Amino acid sequence: MSASSSLSADLAHRVLAAGLDPQALVAIVDAALAEDLAGGEDVTSVATVPEQTRASAVFASRAAGVVAGLDIAEAVLERAARHPVRCEQHAADGDRVVAGQRLLTVSGHARDLLLAERTALNLLGHLCGIATLTRAWVDAVTGTSAAIRDTRKTTPLLRALEKYAVRCGGGTNHRMSLSDAALVKDNHVLAAGGVVPAFQRVRSACPDLPVEVEVDSVDDAVAAVEAGADLVLLDNFGLEQLRQAVARVAGRARLEASGGLTLKDAAAVAATGVDYLAVGALTHSAPVLDIGLDFGEPDHGGAAWA
């Protein structure tokens, strides 16, 4: 793998522009590649591919979907490569693509590409799957004022990448961590002795942070708003309860529907007038988008790819 501790300047700039931390991405990619090697080497490629063999390959989608993670795939290729690797993107993150569409062309030493292949495909397919599912939810609520929002139900250590994929699909991010916003949930309410005292304690302790309050009744939603909450999570409300909450809150706070939501019912939930639909499935249950990496004929002479 690369001896450098960073990405190339151009790729690092693109990663930053996407709202990601290049050094954090390097740490994730290096750990994933190290897991794949398990302290050894790619024994199959070393045995079958002459060291100076060069090759080109194409990442292509084998199903329709939405793209997310092309720069992340490039980061894997860079970090895996012992020699320079060339990448050319044929789509952009957020694009809808059809089956058979090329996403990324790569060229370099064949052993480097083979070492990077599975890790790059694992991350790219996973992130494209999240973006694709998110776009389906966003499409389902088109024509309403509701936004689709993710949760903290993410793969450990991949949260930033997964929430980036949600953005690529047109969704909106909820809090990134336990420290950048407060969410008063049922156990906090129980510990504090009620919705209002729980909210008041958090607001007093964290006056500058956003505070969302989870409730399970319309009356508690109104009480939270009257106590000063400007964001209320309506947990497992039916459609009629959602409509009642919207009517009684009357625009004094933003409302988020959560719990048991399905894509089939998304339009009806959004039509009640809530501001957000919280969908944990975006990150914890998105199917991987099928993406393949197909190699061209290798160049055993080591000539540069044209």
Dihedral in degrees, nearest 10, Cα atoms 205, 211, 214, 218: 110
Q: Residue written as tokens 């809090």?
A: 175
Cα dist from 186 to 45, 59, 234, 250, 289, whole Å: 53, 45, 11, 24, 35
pLDDT at residue number 195: 94
DSSP symbols for the chain:
--S-SS--HHHHHHHHHTT--HHHHHHHHHHHHHHHHTTS--HHHHHHS-TT-EEEEEEEESS-EE---HHHHHHHHHHH-SS--EEEESS-TT-EE-TT-EEEEEEEEHHHHHHHHHHHHHHHHHHHHHHHHHHHHHHHTTTSS-EEE--S---TT-HHHHHHHHHHTT-B---SSTTSSEEE-HHHHHHHTSHHHHHHHHHHH-TTS-EEEEESSHHHHHHHHHTT-SEEEEET--HHHHHHHHHHHTTSSEEEEESS--GGGHHHHHTTT-SEEE-THHHHSPPPP-EEEEE---BTT-PPP-
Whether residue 301 is predicted with pLDDT greater than 80 in this model: the reply is no
Whether residue 305 is predicted with pLDDT greater than 50 in this model: the reply is no
Within the chain, all domains assigned CATH 3.20.20.70 are found at 138-284
The mean pLDDT value of the chain amounts to 95
Superfamily of domain 9-130+287-295: Quinolinate phosphoribosyl transferase, N-terminal domain (3.90.1170.20)
Predicted confidence (pLDDT) per residue in 118-140, tens digit: 999 999 999 999 999 999 999 99
Within the chain, all domains assigned CATH 3.90.1170.20 are found at 9-130+287-295
pLDDT at residue number 128: 98
pLDDT at residue number 5: 67
Predicted confidence (pLDDT) per residue in 177-203, tens digit: 999 999 999 999 999 999 999 999 999
Which pTM was predicted?
A: 0.94
Whether residue 241 is predicted with pLDDT greater than 90 in this model: the reply is yes
**Catalytic site residues?**
118, 153, 185, 214, 235
pLDDT at residue number 303: 45
**In CATH, what number does 138-284 get?**
3.20.20.70
Percent of the chain with pLDDT over 90: 94
